[in-house]
Chain A
Amino acid sequence: MAAETRTTLRSVELHILLSVVDRPRHGYAILQEAEERTGGRPGFEIPTLYRALRRLHELGLIRIASPPEPDPDERREYWAATKAGRRALEEELARLEVAVAIGRARVSQAKTGGDQ
């Protein structure tokens, strides 16, 4: 229901789906990947990450998965994207592509206008 009413993913949700779309990852690995992607500034903290994980799980966009290899820290939970999650990610990326294309065009237009 809520997934239908929401048209865009939040930043933290996008980072989660980007991390778990190809293979299962635990929370801390998701955070570290997000930090790598954003130069160390993902814009969220661990509690926000876990609330988002729980929300995506409730919406059926991710599922709990078994670890690809045995993990010494048994507290860790691994997450993987579901079909719906992959679809939501694809839609979000397509939306972002459009936004990027429009943005690029406008910036170049602005530059041209500025040069004249």
Chain B
Amino acid sequence: VKGAAAATAVALTRALLLLYPPSFRRDVGRALLGDVECRARELGGWRLAAFLVRLACSHLFNACAAWAGLAVRPAAWLDLKLAFRMLVKYPALTLVGGLGMAVAVTIGVGFFALLYPRFYPDIPLSEGERLVALQNRDRLTHRENRYALYDFGVWRAAVASVEDLTAFRTVSRNLIADNGSVEVVEAAEITPSGFRLARVPPHFGRTLVEHDAAADAPPAVVIGHDVWRTRFLSDPAVVGRTLRLGDTVHTVVGVMPEGFAFPVNHRFWIPLRADPSNYAPGEGPSIYISGRLAPGADSGVAHAELRALGERMARDLPDTHGMLRPEVVPYTYQFFGGNPDSASAFWPMTALVSLILVIVCVNVAILIYARTVNRLGEIAVRTALGASRRRIVTQLFAEALVLSTAAAGVGLLVVQTALTWVSGAVERFDDTTFWTTYALTGEAIVYCVALAGLAAVVTGVVPALRATGRRAQAELRLVSPGSGLRMGRVWSTLIVVQVSVASAGLPIAGAMGGLQVRDAFNMPDFPVDDMIFAHVGLESDRLPGEDPEAAGVAVAQRFAGVRAELARRLADEPGVAGHAFTLDLPLQGSSERIALEHDDTAHAGATYDVAQYRVDDAFFRTFDLDLLAGRPLVASDVGLTPTDVVVVDRAFVNKVLGGDQALGRRIRYVPPPGGGSGDSAPIRWLAIVGVVENLERNPFSDEALNPRVYRPMGADGNGSGLAVRLAGADPRVLGRRLSSLAAEIDPTFRVSIVAVGETYRTLRTVLGAAAFAIGAALSSVILLAAAGIYALMSFTVARRHREIAIRTALGASPRHLLGGLFSRAIRQIALGIAIGIALALLIDRYEGADDGGLLAGRPVWLLSGTVLLMGAVGFFATLGPARRGMRIQPAEALKGE
């Protein structure tokens, strides 16, 4: 038994020894093991158990201590201990400086953590960094032109520097189960080369092969691991079973391994059967093209090769390719509109964001400088005892480093929490990609460490160098502590700038934050949770050579037919109280600019931003919107050629018409400057025929509500929104039923459910978070301003300590003395506030003037509030130093003279 106990103790120690630095194991590891074995052999029963517990705890503690001893030299360890004590001794400075730095670090690291992976993605595939995208860019619009099936054929044959060229597009399909249940899924229609490009072997069966893409080949599908698990219950004999997507029955030929979602976030892969040779330039479906850089080639070589090919095509095909310029970009860039130069903007942006921290740190440096002045006695003593200037600067740097590290820790924690939330939100809306991970990457942590270092240098080293400079030390030897240094012109100017920035930022950020909070309370004024919202549409692919216009008319007619049939079936469906078709679902209305006919208000000639909704005649009934005046839209308004009428809401009447009579007025759309077809199209005036209640409500103010314009929808498209009002039915059950109903009418008729209620809730959280962020940034600016004023006052008192003492001894009234002393500081505060207010007014006038100004139309209220608040901040910040100054005892202060 004792042998076994000894072996346990030795095994435990052997394992825990791995936690120690290697040098510790090398020096004493063997001897330590021997002693543990001896001791374990002597013990038995509960004593042995207790020994093992104590041994494990002791190992953990000593391993940590051994590492700590290794990492920091004894002197540095002492510096750190002292730094911690300073944090506790000056809690106000710790709180103010730490909070300011934490806010700045959070902004910096949050920016970096979100954007770095976008520009430098880590693609989790074999040699993922060699994956590239090939795309055409229009020289005029600077947008990508994805109608590139013809180009794909040319590039595949001619480009040597990129291999495994792959084209894909995402298609939505009804996945129809044997029992008739329907789920709308997104499948990658992809050339079989895509699987060679990804270099991931299948979990079962095979991937797509070239033969699958032939027009006469039986339809094949490769499925993702989770589809295999959930839909086929992990059936090992899944290969050969069938899957119905829309009106096509596919045979499952393979299952991809868990986590595979190439090319974006896909779980179904079907062959892209569009043969490039059948399509004319610029025709065919919109596709994404990617490939892998050939061995020895880099993106520069590929780019040059593609560019040369593009120039030739532009010469040969001037009509379609004259304005196109092909380019090679990193694989992921094609999904967010990136161009080859996108990444070059990242580092300057990072530098700009880092500048926020520098600005904050300069403020904190003022405070630390002021504190250092109060410690000049201590520094003088240490210098006299032989401490070098480097030693003292190192100690002050250590103090700043401890503060900045704590702030960086808080920043990292906040960013990590925010990323977790974003990750959850993205997954809820199924909007992720296979290469995106919302977590702090190593690079983000390195950046954070660099920020902490930068902050420590600015807040620690700069004041320390000044306080230990030759001039300061020389003066220190001549006069009493504190009198030699002065808050120079630079520091004083910085405080004025600080106060003015706070005074300018306060009203603007206050107004913006207030608006965010107010908008966060915009709630649907319709029973959002008793409704289902969906996008409905037909699969439609144009065949090679088909006339686009004729194809469009044909599919629109087909869609009108299936929509009418769905409407008929919905009317008979139990649990459905009503439904409406609308081109724009709630929260998805298009933003338009309109002008009024005979605008005789004070704003004659003005234009207004409104949200436009194109709806059918059942919309107001379904959403239960009360008619306030006139008439609603009727069946005759809606159709192939909608009538030129609109219905507006109460917010429109109040905000656009100023509460005037709406019926009979006419509006027209104003095309955006430099764009749109408005130049050649005749101006169509639309008559307001009715006024309805608002679609949303806000408990604080109707001002928060967007004016809405409802237009009759046309019947010329191949898709629309659908809103179904329920009467007691479970939304999830009816949602599935809706998909089945549509698929029964036509297997290619898709119903994609849209979570409008969830979007409202997410929007509210996002707006709330934005308001919180503005509030946090604002609080740190105010705190820093207060701290700056406090530092200035403390400094003044410390510097003129002797003078106050002498003048008090000569009979001057302390109040009178302080008034004189602080008058300069008070002038600085007043100057700062005045500049800040002027700045705020200026910004309000020139920025956002179209939207009622940045001050939200309440400049007097906001600016007087700012003056009061900054005045109060200044008052309270001066209170402490003033009291200290009044308590100076002449006898005490002049004892050393």
CA of A65 to CA of B39, assembled, Å: 23
Given contacts A2-B74, A54-B28, A77-B28, contact A45 B58 (CB under 8 A): yes
Proximity bits, A1-40, B CB within 8 Å = 1, else 0: 1100100000000000000000000111001000000000
Is B732 in the interface zone, CB < 8 Å from A?
no
In the assembled complex, 7 residue pairs joining A and B whose CB atoms fall closer than 8 Å, in A order, are A1-B74, A2-B74, A5-B75, A46-B36, A47-B63, A53-B28, A75-B31
- A54 contacts across to B, CB distance below 8 A: 24, 27-28
Given contacts A54-B27, A76-B31, contact A47 B74 (CB under 8 A): no
Shortest C-beta distance, B79 to chain A (Å), equals 12
* Contact among B30, B59, B75 with A47 in the assembled complex (CB-CB below 8 Å): B59
Least CB separation from B55: chain A residue: A45
CA of A28 to CA of B28, assembled, Å: 12
Proximity bits, B55-75, A CB within 8 Å = 1, else 0: 100110111011001000111
- B30 contacts across to A, CB distance below 8 A: 75, 77
Shortest C-beta distance, B802 to chain A (Å), equals 35
CA of A75 to CA of B59, assembled, Å: 19
Is B54 in the interface zone, CB < 8 Å from A?
yes
Proximity bits, A56-72, B CB within 8 Å = 1, else 0: 01000000000000000
Q: Let me know if B34 and A75 touch, CB within 8 A.
A: yes
Q: Which of B1-47 contact A (CB under 8 A)?
A: 24, 27-28, 30-36, 38-39
- A51 contacts across to B, CB distance below 8 A: 24, 62, 65-66
Q: Let me know if A28 and B35 touch, CB within 8 A.
A: yes
Least CB separation from A31: chain B residue: B35
Shortest C-beta distance, A19 to chain B (Å), equals 14
* Contact among B39, B54, B58, B75 with A28 in the assembled complex (CB-CB below 8 Å): B39
CA of A26 to CA of B31, assembled, Å: 9
Q: Which of A97-112 contact B (CB under 8 A)?
A: none
Is A73 in the interface zone, CB < 8 Å from B?
yes
Is B604 in the interface zone, CB < 8 Å from A?
no
CA of A103 to CA of B36, assembled, Å: 38
* Contact among A1, A5, A57, A76 with B34 in the assembled complex (CB-CB below 8 Å): A76
Is B171 in the interface zone, CB < 8 Å from A?
no
Is B78 in the interface zone, CB < 8 Å from A?
yes
- B62 contacts across to A, CB distance below 8 A: 47-48, 50-51
CA of A36 to CA of B38, assembled, Å: 17
Q: Let me know if A47 and B27 touch, CB within 8 A.
A: no
Given contacts A1-B74, A5-B78, A28-B38, contact A50 B32 (CB under 8 A): yes
- Between B30, B32, B69, B74, the greatest number of chain A beta carbons within 10 A of the residue's beta carbon is seen for B32
- A47 contacts across to B, CB distance below 8 A: 32, 55, 58-59, 61-63
9 interchain residue pairs of minimum CB distance: A2-B74, A45-B58, A75-B34, A47-B62, A28-B35, A77-B31, A47-B58, A50-B28, A75-B30
Instruction: State which size class the interface on B falls in.
Output: 20 to 34
Q: Let me know if A27 and B58 touch, CB within 8 A.
A: no
CA of A48 to CA of B62, assembled, Å: 6
Q: Let me know if B58 and A1 touch, CB within 8 A.
A: no
CA of A57 to CA of B55, assembled, Å: 23
- B39 contacts across to A, CB distance below 8 A: 28, 31, 46
Least CB separation from B65: chain A residue: A51
* Contact among B24, B32, B69, B75 with A1 in the assembled complex (CB-CB below 8 Å): B75
Least CB separation from B36: chain A residue: A46
Q: Let me know if B58 and A75 touch, CB within 8 A.
A: no
Given contacts A1-B75, A2-B74, A5-B78, contact A48 B31 (CB under 8 A): no
Interface contacts (Cβ under 8 Å), in number, total 66
- B32 contacts across to A, CB distance below 8 A: 27, 46-47, 50
Q: Let me know if B74 and A50 touch, CB within 8 A.
A: no
Shortest C-beta distance, B65 to chain A (Å), equals 7
- A73 contacts across to B, CB distance below 8 A: 34, 38
CA of A26 to CA of B65, assembled, Å: 23
Shortest C-beta distance, A56 to chain B (Å), equals 12
- Between B31, B34, B35, B78, the greatest number of chain A beta carbons within 10 A of the residue's beta carbon is seen for B35
Shortest C-beta distance, B91 to chain A (Å), equals 28
Q: Let me know if B55 and A50 touch, CB within 8 A.
A: no
Q: Let me know if B28 and A46 touch, CB within 8 A.
A: no
Shortest C-beta distance, B260 to chain A (Å), equals 47
- B75 contacts across to A, CB distance below 8 A: 1-2, 5
CA of A63 to CA of B127, assembled, Å: 54
CA of A2 to CA of B81, assembled, Å: 14
- B63 contacts across to A, CB distance below 8 A: 47
- B73 contacts across to A, CB distance below 8 A: 1
Shortest C-beta distance, B8 to chain A (Å), equals 15
Shortest C-beta distance, A40 to chain B (Å), equals 11
Q: Let me know if B33 and A75 touch, CB within 8 A.
A: yes
Given contacts A51-B62, A75-B30, contact A46 B74 (CB under 8 A): no
Least CB separation from B54: chain A residue: A45
Shortest C-beta distance, B32 to chain A (Å), equals 5
Q: Let me know if B27 and A27 touch, CB within 8 A.
A: no
Q: Which of B147-174 contact A (CB under 8 A)?
A: none
- B55 contacts across to A, CB distance below 8 A: 45-47
CA of A44 to CA of B65, assembled, Å: 14
Least CB separation from A79: chain B residue: B31
CA of A51 to CA of B31, assembled, Å: 12
CA of A57 to CA of B73, assembled, Å: 16
- Between A28, A49, A57, A73, the greatest number of chain B beta carbons within 10 A of the residue's beta carbon is seen for A28
- B74 contacts across to A, CB distance below 8 A: 1-2, 5
- A53 contacts across to B, CB distance below 8 A: 28
- A50 contacts across to B, CB distance below 8 A: 28, 31-32, 35, 62
Least CB separation from A29: chain B residue: B35
CA of A49 to CA of B54, assembled, Å: 13
- B33 contacts across to A, CB distance below 8 A: 75
CA of A26 to CA of B33, assembled, Å: 13
Shortest C-beta distance, B35 to chain A (Å), equals 4
Given contacts A1-B75, A47-B55, A77-B28, contact A27 B66 (CB under 8 A): no
Shortest C-beta distance, A57 to chain B (Å), equals 8
- A48 contacts across to B, CB distance below 8 A: 58, 61-62
Shortest C-beta distance, A65 to chain B (Å), equals 13
- B28 contacts across to A, CB distance below 8 A: 27, 50, 53-54, 77
Starting from the known contacts A28-B39, A48-B61, 11 additional A-B residue pairs (CB-CB under 8 Å) come to A1-B74, A2-B74, A2-B75, A27-B31, A27-B35, A46-B32, A47-B32, A47-B55, A47-B59, A48-B62, A50-B32
